[in-house]
Amino acid sequence: MPMADNAGWTAAAATDPQLACPTSGVVDIVFSRWTTPILWTLNTHGRLRFVELERLIGTITPKVLTQRLRQLERDGMVVRTYHPEVPPRVEYEISELGRSLAPLFAHLAEWAAANLDKVEQARHDYDTDTPR
């Protein structure tokens, strides 16, 4: 969105939350509690069966993993492949759309490596400072 008319943009942002932060739609899709670990794992390890994905993530429940995978499939971030065998086999892989987020995740990983210790220090300082 052009920002030439800042006053108009500010007025529109006051009535439309999407305009206040144009990335909020992306944040809602990508940064929900389990989406990032799922996409990261699929991007890193490639095509995986449900149980393999669950094992690699570790702390996610089967119910939540199922819900997140369905939402990610709906959003076009994950591709589900059903193999009609005995027993049936289902595999999940990151889609091209999901893979296009890899540079974003790489930047976030760099930021985390450079700054999370500063965040922890700020939290510590805040928590040990005088009561508010």
Q: Is residue 29 domain-resident?
A: yes
Q: Is residue 129 domain-resident?
A: no
Structural domain tally of the chain?
A: 1
Measured CA to CA, the distance from residue 38 to residue 57 in angstroms comes to 7
The C-alpha angle with vertex 129 and arms to 125 and 130, in degrees rounded to 5, equals 170
Q: Is residue 106 domain-resident?
A: no
| Residues 62-80: tens digit of each pLDDT | 999 999 999 999 999 999 9
| Residue 48: both structure tokens together | 């995986």
Q: Is residue 111 domain-resident?
A: no
pTM (global) more than 0.95: no
The confidence score (pLDDT) of residue 28 equals 78
* Phi, psi (rounded to 5 degrees) for 17: -55, -30
Q: Is residue 85 domain-resident?
A: yes
Containing structural domain, residue 44 = 22-100
The label of the residue with tokens 């009609």 reads 84
Q: Is residue 127 domain-resident?
A: no
pLDDT, mean of residues 98-103? 91
- Domain of 93, CATH number, reads 1.10.10.10
CA 123 to chain centre: 24
| Residues 10-58: tens digit of each pLDDT | 555 556 666 777 777 777 777 788 999 999 999 999 999 999 999 999 9
Q: Is residue 34 domain-resident?
A: yes
The confidence score (pLDDT) of residue 37 equals 92
The confidence score (pLDDT) of residue 4 equals 47
Q: Is residue 131 domain-resident?
A: no
